[in-house]
Amino acid sequence: MRRCKGGYAVVMLINHVGLLAFRDPNGIRPLCFGKRSTLNGDGDYDYAIASESVAIDAVDPQFVL
């Protein structure tokens, strides 16, 4: 992140590892995070990452950041 200049938001899917999301240190580009309980009620969570909070509201998870 130190080598990049300007505003950015990055979401990467790393095969067999997981999801990585980050934004520029100044927060110029938006990046929102939400979570909700899984539908099977086993205590796990589903997560959502989007560039706008409206997208997270559309799928009904709890807005976190």
Whose CA is closest to 31, among 43, 20, 42, 22?
A: 22
Residue for token digits 């990452």?
49
Has residue 30 been placed in a domain?
Answer: yes
> pLDDT tens for residues 20-42?
888 888 878 888 888 888 877 78
Give the span between the Cα atoms of 30 and 33, in whole angstroms.
Answer: 10
pLDDT at 1 over 70: no
| Beta carbons of 48 and 35 less than 8 angstroms apart | yes
Has residue 47 been placed in a domain?
Answer: yes
Q: Which domain holds residue 37?
A: 9-63
Has residue 32 been placed in a domain?
Answer: yes
pTM: 0.63
Name the token pair of 17.
Answer: 């590892």
Has residue 2 been placed in a domain?
Answer: no
Residue for token digits 């969570």?
45
Has residue 23 been placed in a domain?
Answer: yes
**Confidence (pLDDT) at 14:** 94
Count: domains in the chain: 1
Has residue 4 been placed in a domain?
Answer: no
Name the token pair of 11.
Answer: 């979401």
